[in-house]
Amino acid sequence: MRVTRRTILRGALATTVASALPRFSFAAQSLELGAARIDTLSDGNLVLPLSFVSNDPKAVPILKEFGLTGAQVEPPCNLTLYRDGTNTVLFDVGSGPDFMPTAGKLQAALDALEITHDDVTHVVFTHAHPDHLWGVLDDFDEPIFANAQHFMGKSEFEFWINPETVNTIDEGRTTFAAGALRRLQTLEDQITTFGDGEEILPGIASRMTPGHTPGHMSFEIRNGSNSAFVTGDAIVNHYLAFAAPGMAAGSDQDPDLGAKTRVALLDQLASEKMPIIGFHLPEGGLGHVERQGDAYRYVPEA
């Protein structure tokens, strides 16, 4: 293994984490997909104001049904690791140390599975929000997955790498834009962009699911007759997004488009009974969608 400043830092952090946490505590769930394997990895959780879910008064009784009556929500952050014997593909990279102290725990999950940074052959981004992108660089601004090929949807990449985005995005997301710009400029020569419906790697096809961000991508993974769907933040929680998918979500940059995308996606996933991996869904994020009257519900895998 090539030794860099990043390797030395990682080793020190791994020793600290190992002494403080039980083994495997951050490796959440797994799914056998034919000859391949999917693991969900915890990056910790976010702490957000309840208004980030929705400001619609109609949301209040639904949120109460799920016990959400306080001022905050604490959504989990689940990354997806796919291994097919040839490729080791990480979907999103988490927050790193610069976003929230409750997140940025990916290293512990990788250590639990004995996965090194150099083992990761490909990094695939659903979108460029901090909890999905900011963990891509180390404390020396070096790419953490230095040997991996990085992928991001073309329209998503172009939106965030545009220096004017920080001046045109809404005020609450200017930090998002500045942080994305710095990281994407550093990674620019290592990123491959793609469009909707492309097979970016064998068995991994992109699916444009915009609204949460302008070029948000989800991914369908197929291995033989088996499949699973990485939703990213196209489905951003397990309560309102399912019970009232047409309701505007406060976390979506384009709430109307996000709702339209969500309704169509949930209909497809419920019809096809395809396993899903949701970045902010509970219990590791691996489950499936079931219809419930005119709405849906999230069912975690046992």
Looking only at the bridges linking them, the beta strands covering 286-292 and 204-208 are unpaired
Category of 171 on φ-ψ map: left (φ > 0), alpha (ψ -120 to 50) or beta: alpha
Nearest to 99 by CA among 57, 73, 132: 132
Average pLDDT over residues 15-21: 34
For helices 154-161 and 174-187, the axis angle rounded to 10 degrees is: 110
- Nearest CA to 129 out of 211, 219, 199 is that of 211
Q: Please check whether residue 260 is in contact with residue 160, taking contact to mean a CB–CB distance below 8 angstroms.
A: no
Both tokens of 221, joined, read 């993974």
pLDDT on residue 40: 96
Give Cα 151 to chain centroid, integer Å: 14
pLDDT at 22 over 50: no
Q: Identify which of 227, 189, 235 has the alpha carbon closest to the alpha carbon of residue 209.
A: 235
The CA-atom distances, in angstroms, between 98 and each of 43, 61, 125, 267 are 13, 35, 18, 36
pLDDT given for residue 20 in this prediction:
35
Q: Report the distance separating Cα 100 and Cα 98, nearest Å.
A: 6
* pLDDT, tens digit (0-9, with 9 covering 90-100), for 59-110: 999 999 999 999 999 999 999 999 999 999 999 999 999 999 999 999 999 9
Neighbours of 288 (CB within 10 A): 18
In this structure, what are the phi and psi dihedrals at residue 200, rounded to the nearest 5 degrees?
-80, -30
Is residue 159 within 8 Å of residue 214, measured between CB atoms? yes
CA 32 to chain centre: 20
Give the amino acid at 283.
E
Place 16 in a pLDDT band, splitting at 50, 70 and 90: very low
Beta bridge partners of 49: 72
Q: Is domain 5-300 in CATH 3.40.350.10, yes or no? A: no
Q: What does the alpha-carbon distance between residue 115 and residue 180 come to, in Å, rounded to a whole number?
A: 26
Q: Say which amino acid occupies 50.
A: L
- The model's confidence at residue 51, banded by pLDDT at 50, 70 and 90, is confident
* Separate counts of helices (H) and strands (E) for the chain: 9, 16
pLDDT at 302: 72
Does the pLDDT value for residue 17 go beyond 90? no
Q: Which of 281, 295, 279, 294 is nearest to 242 (CA)?
A: 295
Q: What is the pLDDT of residues 222-261, one digit of tens each?
A: 999 999 999 999 999 999 999 999 999 999 999 999 999 9
Mean pLDDT, rounded, for 125-153: 97
From the CA atom positions of the chain, what is the Rg in Å? 18
Hey, is 157 helix, strand or coil? helix
